[in-house]
Copies of this chain bind each other. A is one copy, B any other.
Amino acid sequence: MTTDQDRKRPGRPPGTSDTRDRILVAARDLFARNGFDNTSIRAIGAAADVDPALVHHYFGTKTQLFADAIHIPIDPMTVIGPLREVPVDQIGHVLPSLLLPIWDSELGKGFIATMRSMLAGSDVSMVRSFLQDVITAEVGARVDDPPGSGPVRVQFVASQLVGIVMARYILELEPFKSLPVDQIVETIAPNLQRYLTGDLPGLV
């Protein structure tokens, strides 16, 4: 993770902070307009009038740049990486075990604030794109959706997880807001797992 100190250390040549900002502006614009999948580091570099290598230099991977662009203070791969190693019949449990401690942490506050402001504005396209392109590609590809239905299983999972964010951090329902992470994880895990791998007669 890059901190403000790293970014503005005195030894850097003048103008780099401008460059960095220009890349971020270009990235936000392209992610919002074209989605995560259809936006390349090359296109962002072109829009910001810098070499693609410089985009990588400042921001790392595309998911890291995306996270920075929407003010998620951690790399989504922190969650996605471990999930790749998890058998599909345990994702319902592991996914909230990874997410809730992050959301509960200081880092998570920025994410919640950003999500809230996006929901307010017309900026939902980035949240949508992230859910559709990143989460669907990573988790949705590993479950069996009904033929021709699209990634519905993982979208039901997303609906429950977004609802947890709303109830715990935005609506701050009590006692929900104060429940230990473990209790929430244990309570929702079987439901998430059912969405992922259970029998869903309504969808056949």
Contacts and interface: CB of A to CB of B under 8 A. Distances in A.
Main secondary structure of the interface of A (DSSP, over half): helix
Contacts of A116: 119-120
A137 interface: no
A186 to B, nearest CB: 3
Contact of A188 (B156, B164, B186, B187): B156
A173 B188 contact: no
Interface in A168-204: 168, 170-176, 179, 182-188, 190-191, 194-195, 200-203
Contacts of A195: 187, 191
A150 interface: yes
Nearest to A119: B119
A92 to B, nearest CB: 11
A153 B101 CA distance: 21
A167 B195 CA distance: 15
A155 B175 contact: yes
B163 A184 contact: no
Which one of A152, A173, A175 has the greatest number of beta carbons of chain B within 10 Å?
A173
A167 B194 contact: no
A180 to B, nearest CB: 9
A82 B139 CA distance: 38
Contacts of A185: 202
Which one of A151, A171, A172 has the greatest number of beta carbons of chain B within 10 Å?
A171
Interface stretch (A15-23, A70-78, A123-131): A123-131
Given A161-B163, A162-B163, A167-B162, A187 B149 contact: no
Interface in A97-143: 116-117, 119-121, 124, 127-128, 131-132
Given A155-B176, A159-B166, A187-B203, 20 more contacts: A116-B120, A119-B119, A119-B120, A119-B170, A124-B171, A128-B173, A132-B173, A149-B175, A152-B175, A156-B176, A158-B173, A160-B163, A162-B162, A162-B166, A162-B171, A163-B166, A182-B202, A186-B202, A186-B203, A191-B191
